[in-house]
Amino acid sequence: MANPFDGLDDDQGGYQKALADNVNKRLMKGIEDIKGKYANGTNERDDPDRAPTGAAYQAKQQAILQKQILMEKENQHKVDICNMRSAKEQAKHLAAENDENDCCDSDDEFDKLLDEVEKDPEILRIRQQRLEEIRQTQVKRAENLAKGHGQYRLIHQDEFLPECTSSRWVAVHFFHNDFQRCKIMHHHLQIVAIEHVECKFLKIDADKAPFFVNKLKVKTLPTLIVFQDGLVVDRLVGFESLTDDPSEPDKWHTGKLQQWLSNTGAITYTAPREEVLEEMKRLGLVEKGSIWSKNNMFDEDD
């Protein structure tokens, strides 16, 4: 930086030069501090209100992933050993029933058989294949978490395209703060987002995203749009197909939304039996063997 006090006499110039050097030194230190702080770019900073894309977060996720993989391997090994021991006990029991004096009933023979099973190439191949599948699943899960999956996040209009194209499956809820049904959709999506890491769940204020509201022809709120590789594959307008009772259109099970999302391919979901029973009970149906019928149908008179 140029000396701003050039041209002064020696006494004044010497004093002012020392002052200028001190100021320059402090400015340069401040600049270096700023460069160091942002040397890795803003993507290296973890923002709790946004997608966790920072290096620190990713490193932590990788450490967690490795720990999970090791635990899965240990658990799988324990399961294999338990299964083999169970098979050994069953074989011993069958052998004892067939012939109590059978020489194959000895522990040595069964230990030998167990060793042979453990060394069987086909069994080893199946075990390794299973462990690799577990590892791949955990790796994919960690990658999705690093992209912001596993949470229900608010985004702005300028973030819409990057967010919708950075993951294979993305579901975006167009909402309005004053609409009660949008709040109901918020409640259910918050639950689904945590349970289904395979899809990214986002929300965007329709009032603040006029371009995409017009581009995607969003005319009714709430509207939930599902993207696959950045392309629209389906949309849910209001609560259509989620409610069974017209008199209570706002009361529906989260599983209904999960089933709809599963039909689009965005998530993998199978309705648990408890949920089916709850829905059938709500509709006034009872189970009779494998048949569902109304409470007042086919019942004998007292």
User: What pairing do the DSSP bridges indicate for beta strands 223-228 and 231-237?
Assistant: antiparallel
Q: Is 154:186 a contact under the CB 8 Å cutoff?
A: no
Q: What is the pLDDT of residue 299?
A: 38
C-alpha closest to that of 159 among 203, 225, 93, 193 = 203
Tokens 């200028």 sit at which residue?
A: 20
Which residue type occupies 209? Answer: A
Over the stretch 46-77, which tens digit does the pLDDT of each residue have? 444 444 555 666 677 777 777 777 777 777 77
List CB contacts of 85: < 8 A, sequence separation 6 or more: 114
Please give the Cα distance from 52 to 191 (Å, whole number). Answer: 19
Residue 232 pLDDT more than 50? yes
Report the chain's terminal Cα–Cα distance, integer Å. Answer: 103
CA dist., res. 142 & res. 66, Å (int)? 10
User: Over the Cα atoms of the chain, what is R_g?
Assistant: 32
* pTM for the predicted model, two decimal places: 0.53
Instruction: Report pLDDT digits (tens) over 90-139.
Output: 766 766 666 555 554 556 666 666 666 666 677 777 777 888 878 887 88
Helices 107-119 and 55-98 cross at an angle (nearest 10°) of 140
